[in-house]
Chains A and B, each alone.
Chain A
Amino acid sequence: MYLLALDWWLILEKCLLVAVVVALSFFIAMYTTYAERKVAAWLQDRRGPNRAGPFGIFQPLADGGKLFFKEEIIPLASSRFLFILGPSMAMLTALLTSAVIPWSTPMHLFGRNISMQIADINIGILYVFGVVSLGVYGILVGGWASNNKFSLLAAIRGASQMISYELAMGLALIAVLMMTGSLQMSVIVQNQVQHGWHIIYQPLGFVIFFVCALAECNRTPFDMAECENELNFGYHQEYSSMKLGFYLFAEYINMFISSAVMVTLFFGAYDIPFVNEASWGLNANWLAIIGFIVFLAKTFFFLFVFIWIRWTIPRFRYDQLMNLGWKKLIPLALANMIVTAVVMLLLKK
Chain B
Amino acid sequence: MNITQIIFWILSVVALFSALMVITARNPVYSVLWLIATFFSISGHYILLNAQFLAIVNIIVYAGAIMVLFLFVIMLMNLNKESEPRKHRLLKLAGAVSGGSLLLVLVAALRDTDLKHEHALVNEGNIGLIQNLGKELFSTYTVPFEISSVLFLSAMVGAVVIGKKE
Contacts and interface: CB of A to CB of B under 8 A. Distances in A.
Contacts of A133: 59-60, 63-65, 68
A129 interface: yes
B81 to A, nearest CB: 11
A159 interface: yes
A5 B56 contact: no
Interface stretch (A47-55, A136-144, A221-229): A136-144
A4 B3 contact: yes
Contacts of B19: none
Interface in A126-170: 126-127, 129-130, 132-134, 136-137, 140-141, 144, 152, 155-156, 159-160, 163
A321 interface: no
Interface residues of B, number: 24
B66 to A, nearest CB: 10
Interface in A1-50: 4-6
Nearest to A160: B72
B62 to A, nearest CB: 10
A130 B71 contact: no
Question: Which of the four size classes fits the interface of chain A?
Answer: 20 to 34
Nearest to A183: B130
Given A4-B2, A5-B3, A122-B130, A159 B68 contact: yes
Contact of B56 (A79, A82, A126, A137): A126
B129 interface: yes
Contacts of B56: 123, 126-127, 129-130
B137 interface: no
Nearest to B57: A126
A156 B52 contact: no
Of the listed residues A127, A134, A163, A183, the one surrounded by the most CB atoms of chain B closer than 10 A to its CB is A134
A82 B65 CA distance: 20
Contacts of B36: 137
A129 B61 CA distance: 10
Contacts of B71: 140, 144, 159
Nearest to A126: B56
Contacts of A122: 52, 129-130
The 5 A-B residue pairs with the shortest CB-CB distance, nearest first, are A133-B64, A130-B59, A126-B56, A4-B3, A123-B52
Given A130-B59, A140-B68, 20 more contacts: A4-B3, A5-B2, A79-B27, A82-B33, A85-B33, A122-B52, A122-B129, A123-B53, A123-B130, A126-B53, A126-B56, A126-B60, A127-B56, A129-B64, A130-B63, A134-B59, A140-B71, A144-B75, A159-B68, A159-B72
